[in-house]
Amino acid sequence: MSVETSLAYQQQFFTTFAKAWADKSDYRLYKGIDDTAHTLRLDIHEVPGYVLAYDKGAQEELHHYLRKNLIQWLREYIPFFEVADDGRVFFGDWYHRREFGRLDVFAREIMHQDEDQRAILPHLQEFAADPDHYLDVQIEQLRKHCYQEATDLHNQLETLEADNATPESSTRTSAPASGNTNRLRGLLKNFMDPDADTEADEPAPKEAAPTRRSYHGVDINRVRAQFQEAKEAADAEFDAKKRALQVSAAVTRYEYQAVLANYSSIDQFINILSNLPKDYIQALKKTEEEASRA
């Protein structure tokens, strides 16, 4: 492209864009933004700055103007969305409604701001797959997570106690009875022959061995105490998070019912969201054509 051709193109573009702004034609404004992004290979969010000479005030004015009509259209297009004037989008009008995201005016999309918002659609898909057991599955996953440490310690404790209950332990436990028998025999022999050396004839009785509390250097009582502490902590965590999980599942159910009241499935709703930019441009084009025929 020659200098003359490039300048002519730029002059024509700015003239067209200025006319679209003067006519307050959202369709032609968006078309100018989209065409510039495509022609110059710019991110769509860079175009307003390029077109308006990077004047922050002018960019903000254009943004606010386009946002007003986009919000109005979205409120009608997805009626169960609550869309605030500042572009925040909420899923429903019930008490525990969640913020779904925020409008990206130039891209004409709803952008999720954090992990909780990004999880809403996957949760709806999971709920749709098995509505009757959705909460049960989540509670079971929570239980496994909360009790993982306690379960590991319980398994370790069972192994230690099983290993500790060996035949050697039984032999040591019976030692006191054997000692008593030897002592009785010594007394009887001494009564019959006071000069006899009982110690030479009979070995000294063995003392009873104490019950073992460790195995291979691991203190069983210490593991038992750790298990009890971990279980109590898990009980507290599970009880606290279970209630929050129940509330979240109830909200997901409301959202699911709201979607199915307007669409045939969650997947259709997700497809609608992904086509928002194209659908909005089509709506603007239709309005422009109807106005030109009037």
141 and 84 together in one domain: no
161 and 92 together in one domain: no
Cα(first)–Cα(last) distance of the chain, in Å?
39
Paired strand residues for 245 = none
47 and 81 together in one domain: yes
- Read off the pLDDT band of 87 (50, 70, 90): very high
201 and 282 together in one domain: no
3-class SS at 270? helix
Q: Per mean pLDDT, which range of 4-18, 184-198, 215-229 is the poorest?
A: 184-198
Q: Rounded to 5 degrees, what are φ and ψ at 5?
A: -65, -40
pLDDT in tens, 40-67: 899 999 999 999 999 999 999 999 999 9
C-alpha–C-alpha distance, residues 279 and 268, integer Å: 14
pLDDT in tens, 17-34: 999 999 999 999 999 999
Burial class from Cβ neighbours inside 10 Å (0-12, 13-18, 19+) for residue 269 reads buried
Q: How far is CA 252 from CA 82, 88, 122, 222, in A?
A: 16, 19, 11, 44
pLDDT in tens, 217-260: 568 888 888 888 999 999 999 999 999 999 899 999 999 999 99
Residue 122 lies in a domain: no
From the list 133, 124, 76, the residue with the least C-alpha distance to 98 is 124
168 and 216 together in one domain: yes
C-alpha–C-alpha distance, residues 144 and 138, integer Å: 10
269 and 229 together in one domain: no
From the list 124, 121, 156, the residue with the least C-alpha distance to 273 is 121
- The DSSP result for 172-211, as a single string, is HHTHHHHHHHHHHHHHHHHHH-TTS-HHHHSPPPPPPPPP
Residue 291: the pLDDT is 86
Residue 256 lies in a domain: no
C-alpha–C-alpha distance, residues 18 and 28, integer Å: 10
Cβ atoms of 186 and 198 within 8 Å: the answer is yes
- Domain with 171 in it: 137-249
Number of domains making up the chain: 2
30 and 99 together in one domain: yes
113 and 143 together in one domain: no
Both tokens of 293, joined, read 């025929």
Residue 231 lies in a domain: yes
Residue 28 lies in a domain: yes
- Read off the pLDDT band of 169 (50, 70, 90): very low
Residue 132 lies in a domain: no
Residue 169 lies in a domain: yes
Q: Taking residues 170-198, report their average pLDDT.
A: 43
pLDDT in tens, 255-292: 999 999 999 999 999 999 999 999 999 999 999 999 88
Residue 5: the pLDDT is 85
Both tokens of 115, joined, read 């992990």
10 and 69 together in one domain: yes
Model's pTM, two decimal places? 0.71
38 and 109 together in one domain: yes
Residue 86 lies in a domain: yes
Q: How far is CA 77 from CA 36, 64, 72, 227, in A?
A: 27, 20, 9, 55
Residue 263: the pLDDT is 94
Q: Per mean pLDDT, which range of 19-28, 157-166, 200-209, 243-252 is the poorest?
A: 200-209
Residue 217: the pLDDT is 53
67 and 157 together in one domain: no
9 and 94 together in one domain: yes
Cβ atoms of 67 and 105 within 8 Å: the answer is yes
Residue 130 lies in a domain: no
